[in-house]
Amino acid sequence: MPAGAQGLFTAYDDAFSARIASPADNGTLAQFVTVAVNAGQYDQAISSIEQYLIQYPRDARARLAASRLYYHVGSYELARRQVQYGIEVGGLTAGEQQEAVRLLGPIDRALRGVTWELALTGGVFSAFTDF
């Protein structure tokens, strides 16, 4: 394992321990989510944000963060719901509002999916054809 990766997992373990020791501390929770994302532990980050949103359902910034995470893991419908609710709740800065609106574009494109069309033609060639 690369040395940098070892340090990343140590940071994750430390952040997780701090989160368990202070479950009501929102700063510790935010730090854990950041470290979890950097360590590739998206499920842990999502579950932590969702736990926070149970207590603070009208936190638009947390909804925007959840939307980014859901988009990253391919849960586009959940990402759209979170970003739309975050916009509806209000409380986002102008920059965050713009980010939320920009995020809806890729989410909607992902939900539409990709359509492929393929046209094949075939024929037979014969050197012995008389016309």
Instruction: Please name each of the domains of the chain with its CATH number.
Output: 3-112 (1.25.40.10)
What is the pLDDT confidence band of residue 26, given thresholds at 50, 70 and 90?
A: confident
The confidence score (pLDDT) of residue 116 equals: 74
Percent of the chain with pLDDT over 70: 87
Q: pTM of the predicted model, to two decimals?
A: 0.75
Burial 84-99 (b: 16+ CB within 10 A, else e): ebbbeeeebeeeebee
Amino acid at 60: A
The residue that leads in pLDDT, 99 or 118, is 99
The closest of 130, 129, 74, 131 to 106, measured between CA atoms, is 74
**Contact residues for 28 (Cβ-Cβ < 8 A; gap 6+):** 15, 18, 19, 21, 22
Q: Give 31-59 pLDDT, tens digit per residue.
A: 999 999 999 999 999 999 999 999 999 99
